[in-house]
Structure 1
């Protein structure tokens, strides 16, 4: 079954390192990712490939405990770009990729793609396709909150 793909992006008035620090501040992600709560780092390490985090995710009135594992860890460097890749290991499987690209004037382009495998066969696929616009709306709101948080510092 094909994954549901949701892609959102934004330009944020903050340096890539500031955004990276917020993206990888696991326990405080709920400040900008309002559909998620109760973040818990499960792995012994807190940075790099292999970090595992559990969180409760609630979208469209449905709540589930999601576990993610970091599989790409490329913090900002001199090239001005970075990439954080995650694998969803919970009820909904798939992956997420967040890429940061440095722009002039201390701005950053953030592009976020989620590729989600629906649970429950055809019924789950139909339901997730109906929810895809809600996912996109939720993720755009998340980016607005992340941008506001990043710009405050």
Structure 2
């Protein structure tokens, strides 16, 4: 399953990067996830690991992620945060931040998720794709609210 959402946000790429990598507070904008815990000895860069509880459609699981791309904003190229999902549902997530004029940022978020349980999991995830897409759109709206000045 692939879910892609994007938005233009009235905030600098660094502001968004700071929110995206504030691991323990991601639950403030990512409502399907809670109980974030950094499990690596370091908090930034490739190799950071984080555990979180994820609940979608009444199903809760403990997800573990590992950062495999850490390319923060530097003004000359889009920023990229990439993670691997290592829990029950496998896959990866990629967030790209592209600076726009007037202190705006285009955020593009793609999740490639691989369900457990073979064919049964694949069929279940296909049925839940609209719910996942809706959930990620809501997450992006909450992230926008957290990032944009009042």
Q: TM-score range by the shorter chain?
A: over 0.9
The CA deviation string for residues 80-128 of structure 1, in whole angstroms up to 9 with x for no partner, is 5100000000000000000000001111000000000111000000000
Given the two structures, how large is their TM-score scaled by the length of structure 1? 0.96
Quote the RMSD (CA, aligned, Å): 0.8
- The equivalent residue for 2:147 is 150
Aligned length: 150
Following TM superposition, the consecutive aligned residue runs of length 4 or more in structure 1 with deviations greater than 6 angstroms are none
- The equivalent residue for 1:123 is 120
> Is 1:93 aligned with 2:73?
no
Displacement of 1:152 after TM fit? 3.4
User: Equivalent residue of 1:58, what SS?
Assistant: strand
Displacement of 1:78 after TM fit? 1.9
User: Equivalent residue of 1:122, what SS?
Assistant: helix
- The equivalent residue for 2:100 is 103
1:46 to 43, 48, 52: 43
- The equivalent residue for 1:57 is 54
Q: List runs of 5+ in structure 1 lacking aligned partners.
A: none
The CA deviation string for residues 51-106 of structure 1, in whole angstroms up to 9 with x for no partner, is 00000000111100000000000000121510000000000000000000000111
2:135 to 135, 138, 141: 138
Q: List runs of 5+ in structure 2 lacking aligned partners.
A: none
Given the two structures, how large is their TM-score scaled by the length of structure 2? 0.98
Cα pair 1:40 1:53 within 8 Å, conserved: yes
